[in-house]
Amino acid sequence: MRRRALLAIAGTATLWLSMATPVLAQAGATRIDIDGIGAISAPLQVVLLLTLLSFIPAILMTMTAFTRIVIVFHFLRQALGTQEAPSNQILIGLALFLTVFVMAPVGEQINQAAVQPALRNELTVTQALERGTPPLRGFMLKQTRETDLALFVELGKVARPQTPESLPMRVVVPAFILSEIKTGFQMGFYLFVPFLLIDLVVSTTLLSMGMLQLPPAMISLPFKIMLFVMIDGWNLLVSSLVRSFL
């Protein structure tokens, strides 16, 4: 059975290559000149495009509001003690849409300054990248602590700039990530405090009543959920997260 499966896969791959070879050969006849790269064939452009697309998740997680939002959601679920509710898929989906909402103004600036002119062939690829970087750099610098910037300026042996806007992205990006992690942990700590108090009250009450065999988490969980629902916790949390980026 395993041998048959391997033969089927090999046959499928051979058939695909035999069908794709004429197409690639025809596409290879078309060579496009890209600024800063030179003339490359269409198949190589497809490979480069797919390679760049593989970096999109890393860019999303490290250069946007996604990091802070996900960290806070994780701390919230740990503080509530609801295990897998809400599920990871729901939290990641909500974090993605909140990230799009927060980054919409930055995306609009990049679109107007770089994407649209490049689509109209008014800018080269290099010029579009140069014009699209300042809005994203400005967003990250607004959320980055000066101590973190100073740390990576020192580690990278970068000359001290006149203004933060002149810092290279190799300094801004790690400093931004470090600041986002710190901010996410700070917000998570403030989320933990009220739920921790409920756990302490329940544990003390059960201990004084002699109910040592009853898990405190089983009793405190309904109270924590009730408190979170009564104060409209999701509304407050999302509002605080979005406002923290403004």
Whether the predicted pLDDT of 15 surpasses 60 = no
Question: Is this prediction's pTM over 0.85?
Answer: no
C-alpha span between 84 and 154 (Å, rounded): 42
Percent of the chain at pLDDT > 70 equals 78
Residue corresponding to tokens 């909500």: 94
pLDDT of 146 reads 86
Cβ neighbours of 239 (radius 10 Å): 11
pLDDT of residue 185: 92
Percent over 90 (pLDDT), the chain: 8
3-state helix, strand, coil in the chain (%, to 5): 80, 5, 20
| The pLDDT of residue 115 | 76
Name the pLDDT band for 31 (thresholds 50, 70, 90): very low
Cα–Cα nearest to 223, from 207, 239, 200: 200
Average pLDDT of the chain? 76
First CA to last CA across the chain, in angstroms?
Answer: 60
Q: How far apart are CA 197 and CA 199, in angstroms?
A: 5
